[in-house]
Amino acid sequence: MARIRLGMVGGGNDAFIGGVHRIAARIDGRYELVAGALSSTAEKSKASGAALGLASDRCYGDFAEMAKREARLKDGIQAVAIVTPNHVHFPAAREFLKRGIHVICDKPLTSTMADAKKLVAAAEKSDALFVLTHNYTGYPMVRQARQMIAEGAIGRVRVVQAEYPQDWLTKPLEGEGVKQAEWRTDPARSGAGGCVGDIGTHAFNLAGFVTGLELESLAADLDSFVDGRRLDDNVNVMLRYAGGAKGMLWSSQVAPGNENGLKLRVYGEDGGLEWTQADPNYLWFTPYGQPKQLLTRGGAGATSSNLEASRIPPGHPEGYLEGFANIYNEAADLIEAASEGRKPEHLLPTVQDGLAGMKFIDACVRSSARNAAWVTL
């Protein structure tokens, strides 16, 4: 099929994640970026669009103008990537969903629970698709771990441990003009959760995606260690899942020596699994009473989900961008299927996964405010 005409909201010249989304969309050659409201002002948006080679009349000053005009054009966008600070996710997504334009949105879903519920309603009312880019679900060995657990390789899950430490906010960068730090530590733009919303939701989503477990309650202790910081920068959470499994989650942005230390360990009655994002082509599998086994991307013992998500020969580095590209590639499958009236099964994070993430943030904030009391989601 012809390339999907893609628009983008946010992701201008000085934005990190927009470039990642554009690379991911290009890798499989299934999208063509044709329009954008790339910055908060028309001038910056046009400058960013010109740098990307977009036509000047398709560089918009705001997302509402973009949604209205693109919906009327014969060759208007079919999908839009929303890569803005959290508080813009809902109003931007709503404008495109009500016009039947598919939405691919960065996480977390929104900045508030009220907006999250409104966005769920808008997505369910629309004929368009909504995909949330929890990109770590696109890694081949994450897919393998999910399949192995579903097929009973480690038996009934008992213990889940997820962590995601970083160190980039160890100092008060928000007061030094660092844009990424400014909005992520601003409750008006980020929401009630800082670290817990930015990266804690990734760890929470990964644990649920791999194990298939539903979180019932939690006890959270949120800290803002940097003086004057208005949102949390370190999170410790105890987890209770439906069915009896227990878990722990730690996310931090003030842990010197850690860049993007996402890691997941899952232990069941018959064995355990361990995966780390810093070495993503490998999955450690330990059947109880036996030596540890190193499973590799595309190698011996690879599951069907591992092979389907793998892009290059085993033994070659493959990671972040390719995992992100799997999200965009599978979203393209769904968009093409929708145009043909089909609804195939898929593993992509949906608006409901986004709502679950917002419930997680909300519960963590409520629990911490009550001295780490247990609260239900």
Query: How confident is the model over 122-180, as pLDDT tens digits?
Result: 999 999 999 999 999 999 999 999 999 999 999 999 999 999 999 999 999 999 999 99
CB 66 within 8 A of CB 38: no
DSSP 196: I
CB 323 within 8 A of CB 136: yes
Same domain, 123 and 149: no
Distance CA 111, CA 122 (A): 16
Same domain, 82 and 48: yes
3-state secondary structure of 161: strand
Residue 80 — very low, low, confident or very high, per pLDDT cuts 50/70/90?
very high
Average pLDDT of the chain to the nearest whole number: 96
Return the pLDDT at 41.
Answer: 87
Asked whether residue 338 is domain-assigned, the answer is: no
pLDDT tens track for 83-129: 999 999 999 999 999 999 999 999 999 999 999 999 999 999 999 99
- Give the contacts of 333 (CB within 8 A, at least 6 positions apart): 344, 346
Tell me the CA distances in angstroms from 361 to 103, 198, 365, one per residue in order.
22, 10, 6
Q: Which of 128, 152, 171 is the last residue of a domain?
A: 128
pLDDT tens track for 224-238: 999 999 999 999 999
Residue 291 — very low, low, confident or very high, per pLDDT cuts 50/70/90?
very high
pLDDT tens track for 14-69: 888 999 999 999 999 999 999 999 998 889 999 999 999 999 999 999 999 999 99
**Pairing between strand 234-241 and 215-223?**
antiparallel
Domain span holding position 184: 139-314+356-376
Return the pLDDT at 16.
Answer: 85
Return the pLDDT at 180.
Answer: 93
3-state secondary structure of 351: helix
Tell me the CA distances in angstroms from 36 to 11, 45, 127, 174, 209, one per residue in order.
9, 8, 22, 27, 32
Task: Say what the pTM is.
Answer: 0.95
DSSP 59: B
Same domain, 281 and 166: yes
- Give the contacts of 339 (CB within 8 A, at least 6 positions apart): none
Q: Which of 93, 128, 163 is the last residue of a domain?
A: 128
Q: What is the mean pLDDT of residues 247-253?
A: 98
Return the pLDDT at 221.
Answer: 98
Return the pLDDT at 13.
Answer: 85
Question: What domain count does the chain have?
Answer: 2
Same domain, 368 and 266: yes
Res 206 pLDDT > 90: yes
CATH code of 157's domain: 3.30.360.10
Return the pLDDT at 295.
Answer: 97
Return the pLDDT at 1.
Answer: 73
**CA 274 distance to own-chain centroid:** 20
